[in-house]
Structure 1
Amino acid sequence: MLGLMRGYINGVDAVNRRVGRIAMYGIFALMGVLLWSSISKTFFVPTLWTLEMAQFVMVGYYVLGGPYSIQLGSNVRMDLLYGDWSIERKAWFDLLTVCFLIFYLCVLLYGAVSSTAYSLGYWKSEPFSFLFGVITGSEEIGTMERSNSAWRPYLWPIKVVMILGFFLMLLQCVSELFKDVLRLKGEPV
């Protein structure tokens, strides 16, 4: 069992490290979009797409970088109390709180899947089976949801990024749960 846990931890951490290191460069894409927005507003005709594209890039940056942030332990903690605790006490506390986070991420993932199915034109009550059917080719896409802005981009691509980010974050939280279990057993992590 410990071998499976270590394998899971190593696999998920490796994937999230790679995705997080790539997502870090999203800040440069965001800076480029905002720089173009400033230049076009100052010297040319203002563009319609820059604000919304900046929002999409920021969502991707944040959601895909979140699992890597959890892996590094750079998320916000209440160090006033937590910093002075023993490793065992921290592991117990993290074990408890990561369970709440896993539940929350499951709710977010369900909402993201439902929202993505809606953005692809599905209005019934089985979004998971619909998206699986779209991937396998057994379902047809309906009228796709578009933004209400003047640019009117399709919303499904950013919603797919959110599904991927929430799923990777869920996997990373399970990895952190396994790390806490290993710490409580006295095993090296």
Structure 2
Amino acid sequence: MLKVLRPLATVIEGFIDRIGGLTAWIALVMIGLVATNVLLRYTFSYGSVWAQELEWHLLAALILLGMSHALQRGENVRVDLFYARYSPKAKRVVDVISALLLIAVALAFIHLSLGYVEQSRSIMEGSPDPGGIPYRWAVKALIPLGYGLLVLQQLAQLFRLLSTPLQPQEAARV
């Protein structure tokens, strides 16, 4: 059973990598959009509600789609004050508990956001501002999607932790 977990983790992490590549393009588009908006606003005194809202929507996509990739790459903020001094076995226990807790929190966010997204979709919520972006439910739908990706990434992390035995020298130090 444990031999199946490592290839499954590799598949999930490959998928998360592809999503991470998409978020890099979203960041590039967002930078171009912000630069264009600033140029138009301060050079030609022209502003667009639609373009400003698109900046926020792209930022939401960047964060929600990119958080699982950042976590996979270890680019999240960590506090290693105590963790660095733990034995390999204790580190593994902390990593497993952390993965399980993050999965639980992410599942709670998914559960809580589904009604929020459905309500927005059912009324075809759009921007309250004239000239704003319609279909606000679409950006809200990124909430359960982003947290779903986080669950997948943490499952892959958990699979890797459970399928990798402690090295003999690591186990001897415990």
Is the TM-score greater than 0.5?
yes
Q: Name the structure 2 match of 1:154.
A: 135
Q: Name the structure 2 match of 1:136.
A: none
Contact 1:20 1:68 in 2 (8 A): yes
Q: Name the structure 2 match of 1:33.
A: 33
Mapping 1:38-187, distance limit 5 Å:
38-42=38-42, 43-121=44-122, 143-150=123-130, 151-183=132-164, 185-186=165-166
Contact 2:53 2:133 in 1 (8 A): no
Contact 2:121 2:135 in 1 (8 A): no
Inter-partner Cα distance in structure 2 for 1:180 and 1:21: 25
User: 1:73, CA displacement in angstroms?
Assistant: 1.6
Inter-partner Cα distance in structure 1 for 2:87 and 2:75: 19
User: 1:95, CA displacement in angstroms?
Assistant: 0.9
Q: Which runs of 5+ in 1 are unaligned?
A: 122-142
Q: Name the structure 2 match of 1:18.
A: 18
SS of equivalent residue, structure 1 residue 49:
helix
What letter matches 2:160 in structure 1?
K
Percent identical: 24
Inter-partner Cα distance in structure 1 for 2:134 and 2:88: 48
Inter-partner Cα distance in structure 2 for 1:87 and 1:61: 34
Inter-partner Cα distance in structure 1 for 2:153 and 2:147: 10
User: 1:86, CA displacement in angstroms?
Assistant: 3.0
Aligned residues: 165
Q: TM-score, structure 2 length as denominator?
A: 0.86
Q: Which runs of 5+ in 2 are unaligned?
A: 168-174
More helix by share: 2
Contact 1:92 1:180 in 2 (8 A): no
Q: Which runs of 4+ in 1 moved over 6 A?
A: none
Inter-partner Cα distance in structure 2 for 1:152 and 1:31: 19
* Highest RCO, 1 vs 2 (Cα 8 Å, sep ≥ 6): 2
